[in-house]
Amino acid sequence: MHTLILGYAKHFCMFIKRKKNRSGTVSIVVAEKISGYYKELTTIGIARTQEEIDSLIMKGRKWIDAEQERRHPRLDLFGEERKKCDAELLSAEQMLSYITNISINGADLILDRVFDSVGFNRIDDEAFRQLVKARLSYPASKAATVEYLKNHFDEDVSLSKIYRYLDKLSDNQHKIVQNISVLHTKKILGGHIGVLFYDVTTLYFEADYEDELRKTGFSKEGRHQNPQTILGLLVSIGGYPLAYCIHEGNKYEGHTMLPVVTEFVRKYELEDFIVVADSGLMNNDNIADLEANGYKYIIGAKIKNESRKIQEWILEQPETDCQMVEYDKGNGQRLLVGYTEERARKDAYNREKGIRRLEKAYHRGTLTKDNINKRGYNKFLKMEGDVKVTINYEKLEKDAKWDGLKGYLTNTTIPVNDVYAAYHNLWHVERAFRIAKSKIEIRPMFHFTRRRIEAHVCICFVALKVYKELERLLKLSGINMSVDKVLELAKTIVTIQMTLPQNKQTINRTMLMKRHQRIAPLFADEFWGTR
């Protein structure tokens, strides 16, 4: 208020004064200083509340303007225009004084609409919704998530509240979110899920000890010293997540697939579908199980493990770029083998790079008997005598004959090109894992109880589904931007809340600037009503 008084004193020698009355009210008075003495010119009014004070001060300013004009009339060629500008400024200042809150919530508003459009609003749980959105807009630890919610949305949350919530997130929730995801995926695929893609990854923990779930094992991320769990993911064509499973970190990944597929098929009564999986998940027992259940499959074939007869047949075939040959294994099984020059160059490069590392280790004398295993290019090592480890260059030469070759095993009758296309859609699962790890930051995990681990994975699964759906909607609407760029831009969008002083009505307005026009459709009700 003192700043305001000085401003008017400087320009007009008149100022607004607040006088406290014995009754507790405040009189708003216009005064001026003349020859060192203060003189009250008029009383604007008496106020009881801050809102009334603000209103009377505004009237006082208008009185000063009028009195100044009366005392010192001037020729103003732009009088009307000036008055309009003054009135405009006054109106703007008045409107700004009505602002009661500003939220940086553009990304939040978009994610809310996607969350609801998938059908996750069936889960009437605000904490669940907030945690899912936070994984997409601000993936961090639970402690950091609490601070994010407090700072951006004034959410009354605490870390202990979040942990209590994770503890009660039941298995039933897991089933509900999968069901919602499946129903939505079936809808956008025209009612039919024809292909099931399955793959696994490992999720490590920043901990030194194991328990019933967290076990050390072969890590796909090279964190062999850290306890881990195995996450299996079932997705449809297009990479839309359908189901997931969590297993002990030392479990053979090939044993995770059949139970999740079988349960999924039974629950949703699937017919006429094909299971697609990588060769790393398959052994003879798994293939026999798929056959026994009557499942159609396309899997990566381990062609170097085939019988000598089949191996010789494969190596006898002409190496024609992007061409596939077919071998009938009997009992409805087809072995398809393809060759590409690009794969051949890649295989040769990787092998040469691996051998160079082995040769350096050999010359340093750091190779031991423990290095002789089937991991990577260690398969080219051999023992000479009892102590000396050398590189088996003869085996290396034989391996080079397989450069560029890739095999596929199937019991379907679909054309060769369709088999190839279906298998190579496995990249959708790989990309889903990349999104979960890099965008949603599903790992590393800092939780220590099974319930919290399962709850965390459930939240990340829903976040992945929301991410994929937003990606689909952007493509469908012609918004040529990635999900990440859209959310980053949306983080600069604010919603202003204003409370009108007379009728106490609250107004909310989301402010879209010129730079937001590319994503403006996402904030229109019409956009969501047609999707």
β-bridge mates for residue 201, sequence order:
231
* Measured distance CA(206)–CA(167) in Å, rounded: 20
In a domain? residue 395: yes
Q: Which regions of 331-404 does DSSP assign to beta strands (E)?
A: 333-339, 381-384, 388-391
Listing DSSP states for 350-369 in one string gives HHHHHHHHHHHHHHHT---G
Instruction: Collapse the DSSP code of 512 into the 3-class scheme (helix H, G, I; strand E, B; otherwise coil) and give the result.
Output: coil
Q: How confident is the model at residue 86 (pLDDT cuts 50, 70, 90)?
A: confident
Task: Decide which of 8 and 333 is more confident.
Answer: 333
In a domain? residue 178: no
* Integer Rg of the chain from CA: 35
In a domain? residue 73: yes
β-bridge mates for residue 336, sequence order:
326, 408
What is the per-residue pLDDT across 199-209, written as a single tens digit (0 to 9) for each?
888 776 655 54
The count of other CB atoms within 10 Å of the CB of residue 391 is 17
What is the per-residue pLDDT across 240-279, written as a single tens digit (0 to 9) for each?
999 888 876 666 666 778 888 888 988 888 888 999 988 8
**For residue 10, pLDDT beyond 50:** no
In a domain? residue 42: yes
Exposure string for 123-151, b = 16+ CB within 10 A, e = fewer: beeebbbbbbbbbbbbbeebeebbebbee
Q: Which long-range contacts (CB under 8 A, 24 or more apart) does 96-103 make?
A: 97/54, 98/498, 98/499, 98/500, 98/501, 99/496, 99/497, 99/498, 100/497, 100/498, 100/499, 100/506, 101/154, 101/496, 101/497, 102/494, 102/495, 102/496, 102/497, 103/152, 103/153, 103/494, 103/495, 103/497
* Measured distance CA(485)–CA(463) in Å, rounded: 17
Cβ within 8 Å of residue 92, ≥6 positions away:
none
What is the per-residue pLDDT across 415-463, written as a single tens digit (0 to 9) for each?
999 999 899 888 888 888 777 766 766 655 555 677 778 888 888 899 9
Last residue of a domain, one of 72, 97, 122: 97
Edge-first strand listing for the sheet containing 99-104: 99-104, 494-499, 506-511
Last residue of a domain, one of 353, 384, 400: 400
Query: Can you give the pLDDT at residue 513?
Result: 92
* Overall average pLDDT of the 345-357 stretch: 85
In a domain? residue 449: no
Among residues 168, 113, 128, the alpha carbon closest in space to that of 462 is found at: 128
In a domain? residue 17: yes
Would you say how long the chain is, in residues? Answer: 531
Last residue of a domain, one of 97, 120, 149: 97
Query: Can you give the pLDDT at residue 453?
Result: 80
In a domain? residue 216: no
Tally of domains in the chain: 2
Q: How confident is the model at residue 519 (pLDDT cuts 50, 70, 90)?
A: very high
In a domain? residue 264: no
Query: Can you give the pLDDT at residue 98?
Result: 87
What would the two tokens of residue 481 be?
A: 């931007």
What is the per-residue pLDDT across 184-198, written as a single tens digit (0 to 9) for each?
999 999 988 989 998
* Measured distance CA(158)–CA(300) in Å, rounded: 48
**For residue 9, pLDDT beyond 50:** no
Print the domain residue range for 26: 2-97
Amino acid at 63: W
Query: Can you give the pLDDT at residue 7?
Result: 37
Q: Cβ distance 66 to 41 under 8 Å?
A: no
